Amino acid sequence: MIEKNIEIPVRIFSFQELPNSYQELIEQAKEQTRKAYAPYSKFQVGAAVLLDDGTIVCGSNQENAAYPSGLCAERVAMFSANALYPDKKVKALAIAAFTDGGFLQTPITPCGACRQVLLETESRFGQELEIIMYGEKEIYLIKKASHLLPLNFSNKNLFK
Query: What string of pLDDT tens digits covers the 160 residues of the chain?
Result: 999 999 999 999 999 999 999 999 999 999 999 999 999 999 999 999 999 999 999 999 999 999 889 999 999 999 999 999 999 999 999 999 999 999 999 999 999 999 999 999 999 999 999 999 999 999 999 999 999 998 888 777 777 6
Catalytic residue (choose from 74, 128, 136, 138): 74
**64 residue type, one letter:** N
Give the CA distances from residue 68 to residues 56, 62, 77, 101, 123, in Å, rounded to whole numbers and listed in that order.
27, 11, 18, 26, 26
Using a cut of 0.75, tell me whether the model's pTM lies above it. yes
In this structure, are strands 102-103 and 11-13 parallel, antiparallel, or unpaired? unpaired
What number of other Cβ atoms are within 10 A of residue 144's Cβ? Answer: 15
pLDDT score recorded for residue 65: 94
Q: Domains in the chain, ordered, with CATH? A: 11-158 (3.40.140.10)
CA distances from 88 to 23, 40, 69, 124 (A): 21, 35, 28, 11
- The per-residue pLDDT for range 57-79, each reduced to its tens digit, is 999 999 999 988 999 999 999 99
- The pLDDT of residue 67 is 84
If you ran DSSP here, which 8-state letter would residue 88 be given? Answer: S
DSSP string, 127-145: S--EEEE--SS-EEEES-H
* 45 torsion bin: left (phi>0), alpha (psi -120 to 50), beta (else): beta
Strand pairing report for 102-103 and 139-142: unpaired
Cα(94)–Cα(149) distance, rounded to whole angstroms?
Answer: 17
3-class DSSP state for residue 159?
coil
What integer pLDDT is reported at residue 50 of this predicted model?
98
Residue 136 annotated among the catalytic residues of the structure:
no
